[in-house]
Structure 1
Amino acid sequence: MTLLEVSDLTVTYRSRSGDVPAVRGVSLSVERGGSLGLAGESGCGKSTIAGAILRLLPPGTGVTGDILLDGDDVLAMNPGQLRAVRWTKTAIVFQGALHALNPVQRIARQISEPMLLHQTQPTKRSAATRVHELLEQVGLPPDRAGAYPHQLSGGQRQRVLIAMALACDPDLLIADEPTTALDVMVQAQVLQLLGSLRVERGLSMIFITHDLSVLTDVCDHLAVMYAGRIVEEGPSGTVFTDPQHPYTGALAAAFPTIGDPASRMRPAGLGGDPPDPAHLPTGCPFHPRCPVAEDRCATTDVRLTPIGGGIGGGLGADADGVRDRLAACVLVGST
């Protein structure tokens, strides 16, 4: 059963110099208990999609399309309905824990606040008991409930954010680059924690990052974004090991093979920078950086096209659970 369905989502920021298209016609879905990874370089629209799902975008931002959460239209909700959905239906773990947490409030108060607001715990005493349970679930000793954010390490603060997001037992958890500022060992611990919590609680999850290797560990399905669009989607392991879009191939090749000195001495990468959303190139927006671009790529726009079979549970599976892999173009250079 589909929990979240996003159809033809377009998000346009308003600026003094003109409109900036951040998301351009994105469609995706997340099944109950399923996990979707959104990958791509900074500025491709990943976090904007998360903000649109929770209605956290700046006032005046243009949003069109459909966002259905458990069948309810998020974009049509009034403020009261929206408050009821946040925390209880869907919650988010932000990238910068130190900036997301209130520096002058103790951890216990910040975790218990959504529970008391949504009355999932009837009294402060029961909320305090629940806070201790959540801290234990995310691997923190309950006595840290009395600490302030600055008294915790980066990994501990990130675990506090996860505990806050789980406070009201949401159906959908959005993790927006939750491990970017952490060292490798702590990153692995947080990823393991998210994976185990997802299984134990039956959570649906959207995991946003620029690291393809991370997504293959925690997500069933993967969507790669570039210049505000999804350029490839499919089962995460298949997309990582057998990329079809040149951009996906460049992202996958950026990771050296452990134990292979040759790959360390010849690091792969992608030249240039992502395009400015306010001044996108004509044709395929990736063609100025594409290693297999043809002349027609400069004038012909490309959209997602089925390229092969895959077993569903991820993005928009049909009634039989089968979904073709999709890519905007393939590595041989056809568009």
Structure 2
Amino acid sequence: MNLDLTTRTGGGTATVTAVPEKAPPSSAPPAATPPADARTPDTAAAAGLVPAIQRRLGRGKSIPFGRLLGPLLLVLAWWGASAAGWLDPRKLSSPASVVTSAQELWVSGRLQESVQASLSRALLGLLIGVAVGVVLALASGLSRVGDAVVDGTLQVKRSIPNLALLPLLILWLGIGETMKVVVIALGVTVGIYINTHAALVSIDARYVELAEAQRLSRWLFLRKVVLPAALPGFFTGLRLAVTAAWLGLIVVEQINATSGIGYMMFQAQQYAQSGIILVGLVLYGTFGFASDALVRLVEGRVLSWRRTITA
């Protein structure tokens, strides 16, 4: 924009044209607007082009006591079918009848004796099986010689059910407590061995190379590398081992047993007492569920450094 200014002087009139100075160019370049197809969902949502929708690809928040929902629904369905008369009480007692049978067994003392006998067998077999399984897994997973000697034998045992070994074990050990504990321990050993061994042989070779480069001793290598890597597999095997202990207990307590939950159920079968049989089934299921929940709790505390979708 030009400004014409006229001034009068002694010799005439002079015209001066004033031209304004241009603004200096800005040092910051103008903001570039990215194309619509190059914008991320977050920037597009911030610009108001798309609604801000947050998606969760994981499993979502955990439900408190969510694992009790399934058993509770099953009991409610059982209760409703019994109340509607759809179930024959001579073949399947109602939940109220089962509670009454449990009270009678408690008052007589049979329930406490049976539970104590079963728990002692299951716990002893579990402890022996876990110890043997871990030792065999370490021997096989950390040594080629141990793998050649141990792994094949355990794989053959895994193909043979414990029920098929009962005649031979009875011939060797008789029908006493030793045979029952050995049967439980055999089932536990296989579950612990398979999962712990799989975790050991799956350790990343780069960790081993790093330990060798750091010149770690054998003990530090086991403690710093092997133990953390094997713990997830061990706990998976422990959950299976707990289940195997209860399954083995059910088998051995129905073979010439004189105490235990299985013996109580076998005696009730002779007199068609379905209520007592269901009491035994409920006890087996409760102990199995509680022991699995305990293993899960310990696993969550020990492996708290892991970030998984179950967290």
- What is the TM-score of this pair, normalised by structure 1? 0.21
User: Greater share of strand residues, 1 or 2?
Assistant: 1
User: Greater share of helix residues, 1 or 2?
Assistant: 2
- Report the structure number with the largest CA radius of gyration: 2
- What is the TM-score of this pair, normalised by structure 2? 0.22
